[in-house]
Structure 1
């Protein structure tokens, strides 16, 4: 695959990915257990934005497209973009190409916080209860991983990955214990949520992940020069005026917030943050001011189409999207390990 180097080619790539994402988001609204003609989909969307069109579709089709599928597709794009951003940033600060929020225990910590709210605490601050608990869990798990991985004041990438896997197992054991001891009627829905899915998408909640993804992308772009320096080594970053410890802290806070909000709405969807950054690097290289936007767009595209497969393969039932990403990501992980060897 040819690496894009010129500014003009990069802008053309970003515009092409944006256009492809827009077309994909509209096209996939036609897929599902109840198919809707693509022409009707365009008409429904045009009517919702205020255009005067002849309505030759049923109220049921309008309800399916606008109230069920449209927020689901938008949430899928946001979750894919956010997880890809998190994976890109974590791979940079850990200098490990196998790092992602799932393998470093961040997703498991977020899941633990969310399960505590769903089973025991309830909506103590309304709609923000689940995202806040997931963020606290994600941040706590990251602190725990860093404490385990630190050795003599240094943070080695291989130790960090191993610590992440170990902490992830411990946290998931706690999650399973909570599920086992909780109310069995509630735990069945929580178990389905943990497998990953976008069925909870509603227009009234989509604004929160959208806001977090936009803020997260902006914050990581501000830190992009530091990420580039850190990829070259700790000493290089220090010589260029960056504090590795402070930069990691900022990145970990940002990625924990993103992961917490996304996991609270979609469950634990693994391996998106592992795969997508590698695809983006094949296109634009490792310069993070270019890499981050392309990773976000590719992640959004990837999860939008994986969701189509999840809701059509065993229709009318929904296949948990985490199963599909885990199958694809596991094969990708094996391929990466073989290439590194």
Structure 2
């Protein structure tokens, strides 16, 4: 890497860190209830009898876990997207290609439809647990269907992912048709994606699992770089391509499955963020993965802060906002990638 490009990468990473800090502060400060953030933070550092206990509750119980969860979910989705784009050697690949999002959606729909029949599981985790199991099961089915003579076909992954997603979507539609009004509303809100369920116990589950998946994907950086040259070239460089595919798919399923299980489907973060940052920091995954983590965290922090204030005191599902922002960007990327006709 040249000195000039190295300076550019450092500048991009510094800007991303600043955006994460700014977005995190904004998440803590804004909301339906007014909060004197500097005063509340000062009260946490040096407790004062004059401190408002309401501010302390809002900061510690409501906003801090949500801000931490938004960082983790945004980072997890973006890192998974960077890994999938490297695995498929396609800058427009998405983590949902392996069926994890649609499987998690089906699991959540089953949990909502069968809420009275579920075993005694803590209410906060019953639906996410079934959603996570659905995401992992769908990913396993897609990977199994894509294996031909002991090898995983990239085309097979795409086709199996489309088929499994279509089947999951049809089943969700059937469950929605049979659901009562409350169940239908719960299902609709979950599918739109939101961060309202990111409480302290949820964050304590999210952080280690998504962190583990992200760290494992970052360890695959060298192998993913080699795979960009082609499968034959990666094999001659000592990369076991089949094992790499299995591990990346499993780690992506872990990261996305945990995130989707607790927040619903939040679109375009795993697609747009790594694609845009690849043009700024380059294709090397050792730099792209942490840059994507910072970019995804910043994007979801700002999106959630906006979602909580645009219609305050009501809250707009953040998945709607990310789709409204991401879809035009995605269409613009497709238009740029379209080859021009010869004169």
TM-score, scaled relative to structure 1: 0.87
CA distance in 1, matches of 2:96, 2:152: 23
Unmatched segments (≥5 aa) in structure 1:
none
| Superposition pairs of residues 176-255 of structure 1, within 5 angstroms | 176-255=173-252
Decide whether the 8 Å contact of 1:145 with 1:167 is kept in 2: yes
Q: Report the 3-state secondary structure (helix = DSSP H, G, I; strand = E; otherwise coil) of the residue aligned with 1:176.
A: helix
Q: Report the 3-state secondary structure (helix = DSSP H, G, I; strand = E; otherwise coil) of the residue aligned with 2:93.
A: coil
Aligned-pair distance for 1:246?
0.8
Answer yes or no: is 1:308 the counterpart of 2:302.
no
Q: Report the 3-state secondary structure (helix = DSSP H, G, I; strand = E; otherwise coil) of the residue aligned with 1:201.
A: coil
Aligned length: 333
Aligned-pair distance for 1:337?
1.7
Answer yes or no: is 1:273 the counterpart of 2:270.
yes
CA distance in 2, matches of 1:257, 1:60: 37
Q: Which stretch has the larger CA shift, 71-80 or 186-195?
A: 186-195
CA distance in 1, matches of 2:134, 2:176: 16
Decide whether the 8 Å contact of 2:152 with 2:242 is kept in 1: no
Decide whether the 8 Å contact of 2:304 with 2:318 is kept in 1: yes
- The one of 113, 120, 124 aligned to 1:119: 113
Answer yes or no: is 1:282 the counterpart of 2:279.
yes
Decide whether the 8 Å contact of 1:268 with 1:322 is kept in 2: yes
Q: Which stretch has the larger CA shift, 306-315 or 79-88?
A: 306-315
Unmatched segments (≥5 aa) in structure 2:
339-343
Q: Which stretch has the larger CA shift, 87-96 or 166-175?
A: 166-175
- The one of 141, 155, 164 aligned to 2:153: 155
- 1:17–1:262 distance in 2 versus 1, CA, 3 Å: same
Decide whether the 8 Å contact of 1:141 with 1:167 is kept in 2: yes
Decide whether the 8 Å contact of 2:76 with 2:256 is kept in 1: yes
Aligned to 1:35: 34
Aligned-pair distance for 1:180?
2.4
TM-score, scaled relative to structure 2: 0.87
Aligned-pair distance for 1:35?
2.9
For residues 157-204 of structure 1, give each alpha carbon's deviation from its aligned partner in whole angstroms, at most 9, with x where no partner exists. 5x6445534432321221222232234323322321221001111112
For residues 294-313 of structure 1, give each alpha carbon's deviation from its aligned partner in whole angstroms, at most 9, with x where no partner exists. 10000000010011111111
Aligned-pair distance for 1:16?
4.5
